[in-house]
Every structure is written in C-alpha cells, then in structure tokens.
Structure 1
Amino acid sequence: MQLKAAIDEFILYIQIEKNYSTHTVISYEYDLDQFLAFLCDHDCSTGLADITTTQVRRFIQNQLGKQKQKPRSINRKISCLKSFTKYCIREKFLSNNFMDSIEKPKFDDNLPVYMTLDDLKQLFRSIENDDSSLSIRNEVMIKLLATTGMRRSELVALTWEQINLSNQTIRVFGKGKKERLLPLHAALIPLLYEYKETLREFQIYPTEPVFLNKNGVSLNPRGLHLIFKKALEKAGLPPSRFSLHHLRHTFATLMLQENKENIELRTLQELLGHESITATEVYTHVEFEQKKKAIDSFNIF
C-alpha cells in the first residue's frame, strides 16, 4: 500500500470515527503530508512497507535543522506518526512499526511566556477606549480569552447556544470534542448583552457563530490572531512578544499568582481543559520563578 493512500484512510478515520476537531485533523494531515514530501524529495520509496526508522530520524533531523521547527512542533509530528502507524498496524496495512524505537527528543523546558497584571490592565484600558466599528466585539473576545483561559480554536467555534447569560456559564468543546463548563466572570455579562445588541436577529440564532468577521461570516483563528496583534499595538504592547496562546498562559499564571487562596491546581486543570495535571503544573514553576526573582532582588548584602 502507498503511504498517500494510507494517509487518506487515516485522516478519514480520525475525522469520522474518532470525531477529532477540525484543527487537529488539519494538523495531522499537514504533518503526514510533510513526511511524504520529505520522502519524495529524497528519492525514497513511498510504499508503506518500505519506510524505515532511519528515514523517520532523518525527517526529524531535517525538521530540526533546515526547517528550524520548534520542539513543540517536532514532538507533535512524532505523536502524529506514532498514531498513524498504530492505526496502520491495526488495519493490517503495515506489519512492521517503523515508529517503535522513535522517542521524542528531550528539550530544555522553557517557562511559558505570559503578560503581567499591569500588561493585561493596559490592554484592557486600550480596548475599552477603542471607538472603531468592531471594538465591542474585540473587547468581548479578548476579555473572554483572558478570563476563561479558553483556546483560540474554542473561541472562534463558539455558537450562541453555548452561552447561557442567565446562568452566567459558557460551554466549551476542547480537544477531542471534550466538553467543559466554564463560569463567566460577572464583568463579562453586561458586555455580552451589549455586544448581542449590535447583531441582527438572525445572527443571534442559537446555532449561529458568536463572533463574525467584518464580512459577517464566522471568524477564523487567523483573523482572531491579527485582531489580537493590532490590539496589542494600539495598547503600546509589543505584538512580537505575545500571542493568543500567551493570553491563555496569562490567565493560568495570574490565576495562581493573584488568586491562589481560592484555586487549587486540579481546578485550574479543569478550567484549562488539560488532559493531564502535568501540563498544568508548569504554572506552579512560573510562580516559583517569580518567588526566586523576588528573593534575588532582595538587596540586603
């Protein structure tokens, strides 16, 4: 069987049977197509049974070297290939698992980048004073991300039936379509009502997307990214320093730093929709780093 045909079968499987999110399906397809392109570029056989562990290692080396891929991306590609080969063996497309001895490279753990409380307040002041035509939409989106910790893919996928203003809750579908219920901050309720008033009646139908672009169609992650970068620039914050994912880090970090007496790590894990508590523990490291800086700056000697 050819690799391309196996990829097509696998993508169909995770899309239909596993019901993976659109974002995950696109990422998996992109990673597998990259591997296929690598084999073609290096005149290797693209027969599924001909692929070797050495070729996979050279692909990883190529991604780290020439392609300058980040550690997170490399580990995602390895996870993708492992899932793919596991599926191929189960379906009897493949008898020898060429990913068996491949391990994820060890990288230095970097503490997550996040905005300080002053940075966040500066951003909020700026968007609150913005008088552009879509300013209320932008304010709702950025404040929702900052006060719930949801992912940008989760935000752009929101429909009105997921928001319950009476109960002050929002229902989010995370990775693997897993559902979690998040409380809405009280300050967001009047803002959401105000935003709702700016929309036409058919646009607030339960199954309609909550956030629309300037053309009146559902906003995509790329569009949200550009809106956030412009908001940072207007607020006098460096757009190159922060991304939307850093806003998620900001939520988690400030939650522990400013509100630690009211939140446990397990609660934060549930708010963020992390599969494992290990992923959430990185924010305790951030808090420790702040403590260390405080001690180091205590100039008494």
Structure 2
Amino acid sequence: MLLQHAIDEFLLYLEIEKNYSQHTLDGYSYDLKLFKDFLVKHDRSLALNDISKTLVRRFLQEKITKDKMQARTIHRKISCLRSFTKYCTRENLLMNDFMIGIETPKIDNKLPVYMTLPELQQLFRFLDGDTGRFSKRNNVMFKLLATTGMRRSELVDITWGQLNLSNNTIRIHGKGKKERLLPLHPIVIPLISSYKESLAEHLIHSSQPMFLNKNGYQLHSYGLHKIFKETLEKAGLPPKQFSLHHLRHTFATLLIQENKENVDLRTIQELLGHESLVTTQVYTHVDFEQKKKAIDSFNIFDSPLIKD
C-alpha cells in the first residue's frame, strides 16, 4: 500500500471512530505530510512497507539540524508517526512497525512563561483605548483568553450559540471534543454585548463563528497569532516574549497568585480542561511569595544550637 493511501485511511479513522476535532486532524495531517514530503525530496519509495526506522531517524535529524525544530516539536512528530504506524499495524496495512526503537528526545521541564499583572494590565489598557476597525473584536478575543484560560483553537471555533448571556457562561469544545462550561468574567460581558451589537444580524446567528477575519470568514488560529503579536507591539510589550499560549499560562498563574484563598489546583484543572491533574501541577511554581515567606521564617541561624 502507498503511504498516502494509508494516511487517508488513518485520518478517516481519527475523524469517524475517534471523533477528533478538526484542529487535531489538521495537526496529524500536517505532520504526516512533512514526512511524506521528506521521502519525495530524497527520492525514496512511497510504499508503506519500504519505510525503515533509518529513514525516520534521517527525517528527524533533518528537522533538528536544518529546520531547527525544538525537542517538544520533534516529540509531537514522533508521537504522530507512532500513532500512525500503530494503526497501520493493527489494520494489517504494515508488516513491520518502523517506529519501534525510535526514542523521543528528552524535554526540559521549564517553568511556564506568563505575563505579570502589570503587563496584563498594560495590554488591557491598550485594548480599552484602541479605536481601530477591529478593536471591539480584539478586545473581546484577548480578554476572553486572559480571563478564561481557553486555548486559541477553542477561541476561534466559538460560535454565537455557545454563548449564553442570560447566565453569563460560554460552552467550550475542548480536546477530544470534550465540553466544559466556563463562567464569563464581569469585565468581558459588556464588551461582548457591544461587539455583538456592532455586527450585522446574519453574522450573529447561533451557527455563525463569533470571530471573523478581515475578509468575513472564520478567523484561523494562525491569523489570531498574527493579530496578537501586532497587538503586543502596539501595547508596548515585546512580541517575541509572549505567545497566545502564554495568556493561558497567565490566567492560571495570576488566578493562583491573586486569589489563592478561593482557588485550588482541581479548580484550575477544570477551567483549563486538563485531563490530568499532573499537567496542572506545573502552576504550583507560581506562589513564589509564599515560598519566600517560608524560607524567611526558617530561622536556623538564630538557633542556640548553632554556635560560631
């Protein structure tokens, strides 16, 4: 069987049987296309059973050395290929799993990057004062991200039907099409109402996407990324320092820092839509002031047991 035929079968399986979101399907499709393009570029056979682990290693080596892909990105590429070959082996499309023996690179567990409260307030002040053509849309988009912690893919997929201004909630379709209901922060409610009133009636039908690009089509994640970078620069914040995902980190971090009496990790997990509490535990780093107080109160040097 040819590689492309197997890819088509695999993607159909993910869509129909696994019920994966379009965003996830696009990710798998992109990664598999990269691998196929590598084989074509180097005049290699596209027959599925002709692919070897050596070719996979050369593919990964090229991505690391020439394309400068980071360990986390390489990790996702390997994960995609593993899922693909596991499916092909199970369906008897592949005789020998060429991903067996391919190891994932070690990933450094870095602390999440996030905006400080003054930096977030600086962004908000710019959004409030902006009078551009898409200022109302942008104000709602970025304040929604910063006050709900939703993913950018979840934001661009929102339709007006997911919004309920009667009880001030928004229904999010997360990873694996799992739904979660998020409360809207009081600051975004009047902004949403104002934005909604500025749109033509046919654009606010329940089936319509909430956020459109300059051509009137649903805003794509890449477009949202570009708009965010431009907004950061206009707000006087470094575009290279922060990404849309950092707004998600900012939400979780500041929620714990500023309201630790009312927020626990389980609540953060539910708000972010994490499957495992382990993923959420990365945010335990944020309460630095509490750690500092603990260290400062560790008065071992005043102990009578310690002598010069």
- Counterpart-to-counterpart distance in 2, 1:61 and 1:295: 45
Which residue of 2 is the match for residue 196 of structure 1? 196
Cα pair distance change 1:122/1:99, threshold 3 Å:
same
**Counterpart check, 1:211 vs 2:211:** yes
Which residue of 1 is the match for residue 42 of structure 2? 42
Q: Secondary structure at the match of 2:259?
A: helix
Q: Secondary structure at the match of 1:267?
A: helix
Q: Residue by residue, what CA displacement relative to the aligned partner does 1:112-158 show, whole Å, maximum 9, x if unpaired?
A: 21111100000001110111222111111110000000111111110
Cα pair distance change 1:69/1:265, threshold 3 Å:
same
TM-score when scaled to structure 1?
A: 0.92
Structure 1 range deviating more: 61-70 or 136-145: 61-70
Q: Residue by residue, what CA displacement relative to the aligned partner does 1:19-55 show, whole Å, maximum 9, x if unpaired?
A: 2222211111111111122223334332211222222
Residue 276 of structure 1 and its aligned partner are, at CA, apart by 1.9
Map 1:81-92 → 2, pairs under 5 A:
81-92=81-92
Which residue of 2 is the match for residue 265 of structure 1? 265
TM-score when scaled to structure 2?
A: 0.90
Which residue of 1 is the match for residue 306 of structure 2? none
- Counterpart-to-counterpart distance in 2, 1:96 and 1:31: 21
- Counterpart-to-counterpart distance in 1, 2:51 and 2:279: 33
Check whether the contact 2:257–2:286 (CA below 8 A) recurs between aligned residues. no
- Counterpart-to-counterpart distance in 2, 1:224 and 1:19: 25
Residue 271 of structure 1 and its aligned partner are, at CA, apart by 0.9
Check whether the contact 2:2–2:48 (CA below 8 A) recurs between aligned residues. yes
Check whether the contact 2:146–2:250 (CA below 8 A) recurs between aligned residues. yes
Q: Secondary structure at the match of 2:171?
A: strand
Q: Residue by residue, what CA displacement relative to the aligned partner does 1:262-284 show, whole Å, maximum 9, x if unpaired?
A: 11112111111112222211111
- The count of corresponding residues between Structure 1 and Structure 2 is 297
- Counterpart-to-counterpart distance in 2, 1:104 and 1:260: 36
Structure 1 range deviating more: 10-19 or 67-76: 10-19
- Counterpart-to-counterpart distance in 1, 2:208 and 2:39: 43
- Counterpart-to-counterpart distance in 1, 2:294 and 2:237: 24
Q: Secondary structure at the match of 1:171?
A: strand
Pairwise CA RMSD? 2.1
- Counterpart-to-counterpart distance in 1, 2:55 and 2:290: 43
Check whether the contact 1:111–1:286 (CA below 8 A) recurs between aligned residues. no
- Counterpart-to-counterpart distance in 1, 2:22 and 2:172: 15
Q: Secondary structure at the match of 1:12?
A: helix
Report % sequence identity: 65
- Counterpart-to-counterpart distance in 2, 1:81 and 1:64: 16
Residue 225 of structure 1 and its aligned partner are, at CA, apart by 1.5
- Counterpart-to-counterpart distance in 2, 1:176 and 1:120: 30
Which residue of 2 is the match for residue 65 of structure 1? 65
Which residue of 1 is the match for residue 100 of structure 2? 100
Q: Secondary structure at the match of 1:261?
A: coil
Which residue of 1 is the match for residue 255 of structure 2? 255
**Counterpart check, 1:128 vs 2:128:** yes
Q: Secondary structure at the match of 1:246?
A: helix
Residue 68 of structure 1 and its aligned partner are, at CA, apart by 0.8
Code of the aligned partner of 2:283:
Y
Q: Secondary structure at the match of 1:181?
A: strand
Which residue of 1 is the match for residue 113 of structure 2? 113
Unaligned runs of at least 5 residues, structure 1 = none
- Counterpart-to-counterpart distance in 2, 1:79 and 1:264: 31
Check whether the contact 1:112–1:286 (CA below 8 A) recurs between aligned residues. no
- Counterpart-to-counterpart distance in 1, 2:154 and 2:163: 13
- Counterpart-to-counterpart distance in 2, 1:285 and 1:92: 46
Unaligned runs of at least 5 residues, structure 2 = 302-308
Which residue of 1 is the match for residue 305 of structure 2? none
Code of the aligned partner of 1:44:
R
Cα pair distance change 1:8/1:144, threshold 3 Å:
same
Check whether the contact 2:72–2:107 (CA below 8 A) recurs between aligned residues. no
Residue 227 of structure 1 and its aligned partner are, at CA, apart by 1.8
After superposing on structure 2, the runs of 4+ consecutive aligned residues of structure 1 that deviate more than 6 Å are 292-296
Which residue of 2 is the match for residue 25 of structure 1? 25
Q: Secondary structure at the match of 1:74?
A: helix
Q: Residue by residue, what CA displacement relative to the aligned partner does 1:239-278 show, whole Å, maximum 9, x if unpaired?
A: 1111111111111111121122211112111111112222
- Counterpart-to-counterpart distance in 1, 2:290 and 2:39: 46
Check whether the contact 1:71–1:107 (CA below 8 A) recurs between aligned residues. yes
Which residue of 1 is the match for residue 140 of structure 2? 140
Map 1:169-248 → 2, pairs under 5 A:
169-248=169-248
Q: Which has the greater radius of gyration?
A: 2
